[in-house]
Structure 1
Amino acid sequence: MKTRTPLFIHLIFWFFVCCTVLPLLLVFMVSLTDEMTIIRNGYSFFPAKISLEAYRYLFLDSFTIIRAYGVTILVTLTGTGMGLCLTALLSYPLSRRDFPFQKPLAFFIFFTILFNGGLVPWYLVFTQLVNVKDSVWGLIIPGLLLNGFFVLIMRTFFATSIPMAIIESAYMDGAGEFRIFAQIVLRLSTPVLATIGLFYTLNYWNDWFNSMVYINNSKIYSLQYLLNRILLNIQFLVQNTRNNHASEQIAAMPTETVRMAMAIIGIGPIVLAYPFFQKYFIKGLTVGAVKG
């Protein structure tokens, strides 16, 4: 017999949906609003005057935006794939109670979550020893490629969701460790792989700090850093022209609407990617978060 969900549960979920969707809709509508209308009337879901000036300004040099998109997509796909491989390869031994260095290695990973060496040593290691400055690897490796928190989530999933009896049966059939890992463990771990993959994707897509620290070559700027530079340039020009009583055309550059247009441009592809991970997301996160 089917039970009906109480009405207040539906209302609660609709409330949270509105809290999520309405701000995004407001950002989109503001990005389509005339700058002077924003200054006079403030933000509105129903702008008095529609304008595409913000998008026109951003795409004055469309090739630069497209190139930054390409760099960010390449970095996101490469970093997510490599991060998932390294995370799985480290998490699986930690989930095995017969692994001799399980506890010391788990403590070391947990320690890296709580403490770090600071910005200066971090910068010197990746520029002097690893030498990733002004290369795509500078957007992939530092601080993003392997995350201790993700390792602990995946380790717990392996320990609680992969029956040891299956692994023992595979041993009896003559399978080695790598074959068990590749053909059994990974195939049973789609939820946690999709969840951690989504986390890595979000981290790489939204990252701008590595570009600021390691990249001087404008041809390999990430999308988020490029958009941030555009906004800073607009603010600098507007502020200085107002102080110097320069031309009204420069002083009236679209500051607020460009900020919102950048948000829409930046989140577009990542919003489209979420539905592919969604059906695995909750299961992978909740199972992997239970203490093993």
Structure 2
Amino acid sequence: MTARVTTTVAELDTLLRSAEPPAVLDVRWALGDPHGRDHFAAGHVPGAVYVDLDTELAAPPSPEGGRHPLPDLADLQTAARRWGVRDGQPVVVYDDLGNTAAARAWWLLRYAGVAEVTLLDGALGAWRSAGLPLESGAPADPSPGDVVLRPDRLQTVDVDGAADLAATGLLLDARAAERYRGEVEPMDPRAGHIPGAVSAPTGENLAADGTFLPAEVLRKRFADKGADATSRIGVYCGSGVTAAHQIAALALAGYEATLFPGSWSAWSADPARPAATGPLPS
């Protein structure tokens, strides 16, 4: 994956004042917090459009698809046009959680063929820290966009593909380490991890200020997990959201990776699938 992954706050500030600004999407979402739209209204990057992760970046949940199945492409295109995205227009996405939710929009739009999608490095926190202005309230709907989405520009795997990657490649578990070890499970039917998967918590992709770690640091992080130039790499999390952040970090480090969209929520819902516990892959 060679396309640019991030945009700095200084770059976005300049772009927003240009003749052809990017579409800016605010994916304000956190696990267990249903008030994303309220947080958006309290303060967002000027001109940003609110994106609802649960209803616009995911299909309805199911045991087979997990808590956040990929949306139908036609539904995603309708949503993207509602956000005002034009064909060929750059898109910048962010959240207020280190981009761990916004990466879902980044990955989906890349998957659907949008060529220039970047994450605002450091997310909304970096924008605030730079002293840049915030807009409040619910802005008027943008003019409808005309973006055309095309499927399958990035790879995915199903449960069998995830099992194969765990056995013959490198499957990274992007959840918190305690969920990987099976000590807690706040959302899904069973605790533990996919046998053979390696723990790589998403939060460890970020510096203290919420920006991505330098590429060379990320490269060493993933090399220490078993990645190399020939690796077949897959990533999962709880429901396919923060795994996209891991894919962004891997891209910054120079690695391509495949998403298991159903993630642990789909795997653990099938009683025939084994679950491993403890700090080791198996």
TM-score by length of 1: 0.25
After TM superposition, the score normalised by the length of structure 2 is 0.26
* More relative contact order, 1 or 2 (CA 8 Å, 6+ apart): 1
Higher share of residues assigned strand: 2
